[in-house]
Amino acid sequence: MHEASKRLAVPLLASIAGSVASAQAAEVVVERIATEHLTLRLERVAEGLEHPWSVIMLPDGRFLVSERPGRLALVEEDGSISHLEGLPEVSARTQGGLLDVALHPLYGDGEHDWIYFTWSKPVEGGTATALSRARLGDTGLNDVELLFEQSRPADPGRHYGSRLAWLPDGTLLMSIGERGSPSRAQDRGDHAGSVLRLTETGGVPDDNPFVDDDETLDEIFTFGNRNPQGLVVTEAGEAWATEHGPLGGDELNRLIGGENYGWPEVSLGKSYGAGQPIGEDSLPGMRDPVHVFEDRFAPSGLTEVTSSMFEAWQGNLLAGGLYREQLYRLALEGDQVTDAELVLDGQIGRIRDVYQGHDGAIYLINDDPQGSLYRLRPVD
Catalytic positions are 159
Distance CA 101, CA 115 (A): 7
DSSP state of 270: B
Name the strand (E) or helix (H) holding 10.
Answer: helix 3-22
Is residue 46 a contact partner of residue 64, using CB atoms and an 8 Å limit?
no
CA 255 to chain centre: 14
User: 263 by DSSP, 3-state: which?
Assistant: coil
Angle at 128 between CA 217 and CA 231, to 5 degrees: 70
Order of strands across the sheet that contains 371-378: 27-34, 39-49, 371-378, 362-366, 351-356
Is residue 94 a contact partner of residue 100, using CB atoms and an 8 Å limit?
no
Strands 52-57 and 115-123: unpaired
The dihedral over CA atoms of 347, 350, 355, 356, expressed in degrees to the nearest 10, equals 10
- At 284, the amino acid letter reads P
Neighbours of 1 (CB within 10 A): 11
Distance CA 55, CA 164 (A): 12
Neighbours of 186 (CB within 10 A): 17
- At 216, the amino acid letter reads T
Distance CA 213, CA 209 (A): 9
Is residue 364 a contact partner of residue 319, using CB atoms and an 8 Å limit?
no
Is residue 340 a contact partner of residue 316, using CB atoms and an 8 Å limit?
no
The length of the chain is 380
Name the CA radius of gyration of the chain, rounded.
Answer: 19
Distance CA 49, CA 366 (A): 9
Which of 119, 137, 136 shows the shortest CA–CA distance to 128?
119
